Structure 1
Amino acid sequence: MTGTRRFALIYGILFLVIGIAGFIPGLVAPHTHPAVAVQSWMGLLLGLFAVNILHNLAHVLFGVWGLAASGSEGAARGYAKATAIIYAVLMVLGLIAAFNLNTLFGLVPLYGNDIWLHALLAAVAAYFGWRRPHEYTTRSAA
């Protein structure tokens, strides 16, 4: 399995676990935010990351997508590139409170600790999406 396919598999598993964790009450501390219109399952995952039902479902979808993409090199590379771009945009939106962009127009909380987490997720995904695959050569015995 190539590094990019392994990346997609690991991200898929992580996103799926994080998405499911957002639905476990013991892992989500109570939290409300007046700018977030969708308050279902609203809280702080692990006491750090603002999530709601739409945020959790997005994580589950990214997880399923990652697992599916890990089946081929091309799909894994496309997943990595798309994840990098999407999470970079989400990170920037999280920084902009005007027009409720940091809550994606009141739908999904993107502020606080989510900002640096989205930046980290985007950076790792960009590495795997745009890196040049190493060509492995074998040394001939002398």
Structure 2
Amino acid sequence: MAHSRARRNPADGRAPVRRIASGFAVLLLLLGALGFVPGITSDYADLRFAGPGSGARLLGLFQVSVVHNLVHLVLGVAGLALARSVAGARAFLIGAGAIYLVLWLAGLGVDRRDAANVLAVNRADAWLHLLLGAAMLVLGLLAARRGDRR
């Protein structure tokens, strides 16, 4: 009888909060990286380092700048590093969730054309930041309450 060698699932034995944090980290890395890809980012020639003058739009909808993309990339890298432990995963979800909620409020409060719009955030970005922030914060807080120790 031949013995089958199935690949081990890297998520086996990992606490759910670690898998969730890793998933969000990968999503943020994708968002940040895709913001630098012409075609996926429309009006790529109008991509600016920072500020409201950046006319580039990820998926034709979300205004991006180099700094905006770098924020997503840095948070994604931090998320992967922190997801190596349960406590780190929770800290990432809660901390990054709070950051995205602040970005949501800032995106709603700043005039899109004003120099204070350093990240180049439009209304679609603001609502995406709300969705990301709320989901991450709630999942991080629920994991903290459940006390998942694996």
TM-score by length of structure 2 reads 0.76
| 1:26 counterpart SS class | coil
2 CA distance for matches of 1:116 and 1:50? 12
Output the CA distance in 2 between the equivalents of 1:96 and 1:36: 15
1:14 lines up with 2:13 in the alignment: no
The residue type paired with residue 16 of structure 1 is L
Does 2:116 match 1:105? Answer: yes
The list of structure 1 runs, each at least 4 consecutive aligned residues, that deviate by more than 2 angstroms after superposition, is: 35-39
- Aligned-residue RMSD, C-alpha: 2.5
Structure-2 residue corresponding to 1:64: 77
1:43 corresponding residue in structure 2: 56
Deviations 1:100-125 (A, max 9, x none): 7x867242122210111011101111
Distance (Å, rounded) in 2 between the aligned partners of 1:12 and 1:2: 16
Distance of 2:93 and 2:122 partners within structure 1 = 23
Give the corresponding residue for 2:131: 120
For 2:102, give the aligned amino acid. Answer: V
Query: Structure 2 counterpart of 1:48, which letter?
Result: L
Question: Unmatched 5+ residue regions in structure 2?
Answer: 1-13
How many residue pairs get matched? Answer: 130
Query: What is the rounded CA distance, in whole Å, between the counterparts of 2:134 and 2:76 in structure 1?
Result: 17
Amino acid at match of 1:71: R
Structure 1-normalised TM-score?
A: 0.80
Q: Percent identity?
A: 34
Equivalent residue number for residue 23 of structure 1: 36
